[in-house]
Structure 1
Amino acid sequence: MATSRRRHLSTQILKELGMSKKMSATEAEREVIKFFGEDTIFFDGNISTRYDAISTGSPKLDEAIGIGGIPMGRITQLAGQESSGKTMLALSCIKSYLDQNPENTALFIDAEYTYDPEWAKSQGIDISRVMVIKTNDAKAIFQGLIGITSVNSNTKKVSKKMKGILDHIIEGVDPRFKDLGIIVLDSIAVLNTPLEIAADIGKANMAPIPRFLSTELKKLTPVVAQANVAFVGINQVRVNLGQMFGDPTTSPGGKALKHACSLMINMGTVFGSDSVIKNDSGEKIGHTVRAKIQKNKVGAPFRQAEYKVKYTKGIVNANEEIFDLAVKYGLIHRPTNQSYLVNDEKIRGRDNAIRTFSSDPSIVASYDQKIRSIYLGDEEPVANIEDITEESNPLIDAIE
C-alpha cells in the first residue's frame, strides 16, 4: 500500500511539472527550468566552488575567512559590543568594493540614524557613490529590498506587485541600481517591526525582531544570491540574564538570522597597553580589534584575527599584517629568531624589517597577491612559520 501511494505521488508530481516518465534527460531538464526558472538545476561540475569576495581591509581577517573577504551573494553579520568597530569594518568593506569597482555603487541603510558622511570620507570612501537610506521601519526596508508580491486568485500564480532594489540589480536595467554590489544594514537590533509600531507606548512584545525575520529572511536570502550582492547586517550584543554557564552573550534576531547568515563575525576590543594606539600627546586614537569567526559557510569557522584601527582613519597597519602572513607562509625567511630576509637583505629586528618591507608598495602588493594565492589553494606555502634555520656558531663548531 505504501509503495502504491509513493507511485501515485511521484506520478502526481511529474504531472504537476508537466513531465512524464518517457521524457529524455534533456526534455526533463527543460521542463524543470520552465517550472522553477533559470539557474535552478545543475549537474556535476556546473557549480563553482570559488566565491567572489570583498576584502575587509584587514589582510589577516581576509585570510582567516578563507576566501579573501566577505562573500558576494551571501548574508554576513558583524556583531559586537559598543565601540568594537562594527560600522568601521562595514565601511572598510564598502571602500574595498568601490576601490575594486570604480564604476559601481554601494547602499547604506542607516536604521540608527548615525551615518556620518565626513567620517566615511575620512576613511577614504568616495561618498558620492554611496546611497544612504535613513529609516528603521523593518517592513519598509524589506519591501524596498525584495519588493511586494501578490497572488492571482484564479491561477494561484505569484507575481511582483512592486519591484525591489534587488530585483532591479538582477535585471540590470535601472541605472540607479544595476551597478550596486554591497548593501549594509546598520543595525538589525534597532529595526522597528510592524508589531512594535502598532503597539501602545510602553507595551512589550515577545521577540518581535525574530518573529519578523523568520519569515522575511526566507525571501531575502535567495534574492541576495541571485543579485550576487554582499549583504552586511550589523548587530549588537546582548546578555542572557540568568545564564550561568557558557557564553552569556547573544545577538538579536533569533535563530532565523543565524541560519540565514553564511558568515558571522563577532568583534571585540583587545585590552592591554600594547593594544592601544596613542598620539604624541598620549591621547588614545585607536586600538586593536579581535575578530572571531563564529560561523563560516565559505571557509573554516572558529578562526580569529587581530587588526589595528584608528578612529579617524579606519583599519591601519595592513602592511604589517601582510608582513606577518608572508612570514607565516614562508615567503619571508628567518635565518635566526631575530632577523628576516627582506628582498635578499638580512635585517635584524621585526620593526626594522617591517619598515623596509613597507618602503616599496609594489613589493607589498606582490606579497599580498602571493599570500592570497596560497590560502585560496592556487600555490603551496614555501615553508612553515616554525622552520627557522639557525646560524652556525663557529665557537661551538670548533669543539670536537
Structure 2
Amino acid sequence: MKAAAPAVRTSADVLAKLGRAGLGHTILDASRPDVDHRRHIPTGIYELDRMCMGGIPASAITQVVGRQGSGKSSLCDRITASAQRIWPEHKVARVDVEGTQDFEWAALHGVDPSRVILSRPETAEDAMNTSEELVRASDVSIVIVDSVAAMMPSAMSMRSIGDTIPGVRARLVNEFLTRVGSAIVEARNAGRTVTLVVVNQYRQRFVVRGDVRTIPGGEGLNYFPSFTVSMDGFTHYGKDAFGDEAAMRLEMTFQRLKSKLGSGTKEGKATMILDPSHPLGLGAIDQADDILDFTDKRGLTARPSTVRCDLGAFSTATFRTLRDRADHLRADPALQQTIYDAAISAWRVERGKGAGEWKAAA
C-alpha cells in the first residue's frame, strides 16, 4: 500500500506551531526598522567610531586586543562612561581579572564608580561564570572583561609552574562565548540591550614566517565577536612645569581586524593627553583637527577662502586661521560633540548605512 504523502505546510503553519511551542518571540518581522538597524555605543574617539560606524556594536560582543600600554583599559573606561550616559538607570560591570582597575583614572574619562559593579575573580571559571550571570542581569547594560590573557583556569592553578595543559583556556573561552552569545540574543529578543567587551593582549610566538603575534583564548575569539580592534600605542615624554621627565601624551593607533558593522575605515589614530597642565585636561582626546578635516571635505564646515573660515551651519563665528577655529572647537565640548555626531552621520550615509538614528538608547 502506497504511503500517504506528507501534509503540505506553509510558513504560516510553521509560525503558528512555533507560537504554540512558546517560540513565537524568536520570529521577527524583518521589515521592522529596529530589527536590522544596528545601534552603537560611541567611544568618543572619532577615528575609532568612524571605523565601527558610530561606536562598538550594542547587543553584541566586541574584542579589544593590543600590546601593553596601548590604551585598552582607557578605551574601556570611555565605553563605560558612554554606557552610563545612555542607560542612566543601569549599571556597568567590570570583571577585573588583572586586578588593576583604577577608578581615579576612570573618573577622568567620565566614569561614575558608584554605578559600576566590580568583580575580581580568582580563576578563569569564576570570571566566566560571573560574566555570564551579569550579562543575564536585567539592570546591567554592558559587561567588560579585562582580560582574557590574565585568566587562570583552575586546572592550571593546581599544577606546578611549567606543567602545561594544552588548549584548556581556549576550550573554556569557546564555551563561555557560546553561552554569553546565546544570552545576548535572548536579551535582544526580550527587548533588552546588553553588550560584552572582552580585552585581550598579544603574545609572541616563534615562527619563521608570518605574524609573530598570537592571541590567547583560541579560535573562538576570532569567530564570536562582531567587532575586533587591534590597538598599539607610543608614549611621548617631555619636561613638565618643574623640569622633570614625565609622560606628555599617548599616540594610539587602531586597526580593524574584524567587523560585521559595514565598510568603515581600516585604520585610525588618536592622541590622549597625559600632561595635567594641558588645556584639554588629563585623559582628554585631542581630535578637533581630525573632525574638521572630515567636515571641510564634505562641505559641512569651510576652510578659509580668503582670510576667514567658519563652522558652517553649526556656528555663526568666523576665524582668521584654521588653528583659531580648531581651538574654538576644543574650548566648546558641546559644539564639538554636535559636529562630531554630524560627521559620523554623514560618514554612515556615505557608506550606505542610511540617515537613521545610530546611537544606542535606553
Structure-2-length-normalised TM-score: 0.81
3-state SS, counterpart of residue 253 of structure 2: strand
Residue 128 of structure 1 corresponds to which residue in structure 2?
114
Please tell me the root mean square deviation across aligned C-alpha atoms, in Å: 3.1
Q: 1:324 to 1:91 in 2, by over 3 A?
A: same
Answer yes or no: is 1:214 the counterpart of 2:183.
no
What is the rounded CA distance, in whole Å, between the counterparts of 1:301 and 1:369 in structure 2? 16
Q: How does 1:262-281 map to 2 (within 5 A)?
A: 262-270=226-234, 279-280=240-241, 281=243
Greater displacement, 136-145 / 89-98:
136-145
Residue by residue over 1:13-40, the C-alpha shift from the partner in whole angstroms, topping out at 9 and shown as x without a partner, is xxxxxxx835554332032245473542
**Counterpart code for 2:271:** K
Cα pair 2:226 2:258 within 8 Å, conserved? yes
Q: How does 1:326-365 map to 2 (within 5 A)?
A: 326-335=295-304, 340-342=309-311, 343=315, 347-365=319-337
Residue 54 of structure 1 corresponds to which residue in structure 2?
41
What is the rounded CA distance, in whole Å, between the counterparts of 2:57 and 2:51 in structure 1? 13
What is the rounded CA distance, in whole Å, between the counterparts of 2:115 and 2:81 in structure 1? 10
Residue 383 of structure 1 corresponds to which residue in structure 2?
none
Deviation of the 1:337 alpha carbon: 10
Q: 1:369 to 1:353 in 2, by over 3 A?
A: same
Q: How does 1:164-313 map to 2 (within 5 A)?
A: 164-169=133-138, 178=139, 180-227=140-187, 228-245=193-210, 247-270=211-234, 279-280=240-241, 281=243, 283-300=246-263, 303-311=266-274, 313=282
Cα pair 1:277 1:284 within 8 Å, conserved? yes
Which structure is larger by alpha-carbon Rg, 1 or 2? 1
Q: 1:270 to 1:122 in 2, by over 3 A?
A: closer
Residue by residue over 1:275-311, the C-alpha shift from the partner in whole angstroms, topping out at 9 and shown as x without a partner, is 7687444632322101111111112266111111134
Residue by residue over 1:219-248, the C-alpha shift from the partner in whole angstroms, topping out at 9 and shown as x without a partner, is 111212333312111100112212323x32
Cα pair 1:294 1:302 within 8 Å, conserved? no
What is the rounded CA distance, in whole Å, between the counterparts of 1:40 and 1:109 in structure 2? 30
3-state SS, counterpart of residue 144 of structure 2: strand
Greater displacement, 283-292 / 362-371:
362-371
3-state SS, counterpart of residue 343 of structure 2: helix
3-state SS, counterpart of residue 271 of structure 2: strand
Number of aligned positions between the proteins = 334
Cα pair 2:273 2:286 within 8 Å, conserved? no
Answer yes or no: is 1:81 the counterpart of 2:67.
yes
Q: Which has the higher contact order (CA 8 A, sep 6+)?
A: 2
Residue by residue over 1:127-169, the C-alpha shift from the partner in whole angstroms, topping out at 9 and shown as x without a partner, is 00011000142222322343xxxxxxxxxxxxxxxxx333332
Residue by residue over 1:291-344, the C-alpha shift from the partner in whole angstroms, topping out at 9 and shown as x without a partner, is 111111112266111111134733422444432332243211224599743346
Cα pair 1:139 1:193 within 8 Å, conserved? yes
Q: 1:358 to 1:168 in 2, by over 3 A?
A: closer
**Counterpart code for 2:253:** R
What is the rounded CA distance, in whole Å, between the counterparts of 1:52 and 1:321 in structure 2? 24
What is the rounded CA distance, in whole Å, between the counterparts of 2:89 and 2:238 in structure 1? 35
**Counterpart code for 1:186:** D
Aligned-residue sequence identity (percent) comes to 22
Greater displacement, 123-132 / 336-345:
336-345
Cα pair 1:308 1:316 within 8 Å, conserved? yes
What is the rounded CA distance, in whole Å, between the counterparts of 1:75 and 1:255 in structure 2? 15
Residue by residue over 1:366-387, the C-alpha shift from the partner in whole angstroms, topping out at 9 and shown as x without a partner, is 322322321232459xxxxxxx
Unaligned runs of 5+ in 2: 188-192, 277-281, 357-362
What is the rounded CA distance, in whole Å, between the counterparts of 1:51 and 1:277 in structure 2? 43
What is the rounded CA distance, in whole Å, between the counterparts of 1:119 and 1:358 in structure 2? 21
Deviation of the 1:57 alpha carbon: 1.7
Unaligned runs of 5+ in 1: 1-6, 12-19, 147-163, 170-177, 381-400
What is the rounded CA distance, in whole Å, between the counterparts of 2:307 and 2:234 in structure 1? 26
**Counterpart code for 1:251:** I
What is the rounded CA distance, in whole Å, between the counterparts of 1:264 and 1:201 in structure 2? 32
Cα pair 2:319 2:325 within 8 Å, conserved? yes
What is the rounded CA distance, in whole Å, between the counterparts of 1:316 and 1:277 in structure 2? 18
